[in-house]
Amino acid sequence: MKQNIEAPDYSDTELFYLANYKNKSNKDMDLELGLKRRMGKVGNNLRKFGQLDGEEAKTQPYHNIMIADGLDFIATTGVKKYCRNLGMLYGISEASVKSDYATLKRYKVLKK
């Protein structure tokens, strides 16, 4: 899934997860950071888009369309309109599509 050779723009929480997920449980990482049930969500997002070593991405068909269309096409259409149309096509909320778009962009999975 790692489509782009640019380094992903991980958040501090994601960097902490990546540094510790092999040795600590999600609960232990949450305790260490003073969070409640956050690291499981962070891990699921990283896993979903193939950011964990040795694990395959678990993308949905609409993710694959976004990856194939790329950043330039999405920008030409307009992110909001693009996400709305893709959401309607697949029966998914615009907000979910836009959230996944932002994550794919931040992880540098989407190319120009």
* pLDDT tens digits along 14-38: 999 999 999 999 999 999 999 999 9
Beta-carbon contacts of residue 61 (< 8 Å; ≥ 6 apart): 90
pLDDT at 76 over 80: yes
pLDDT value, residue 94: 95
> And the tokens for 44?
């699921």
Q: What is the pTM of this model?
A: 0.83
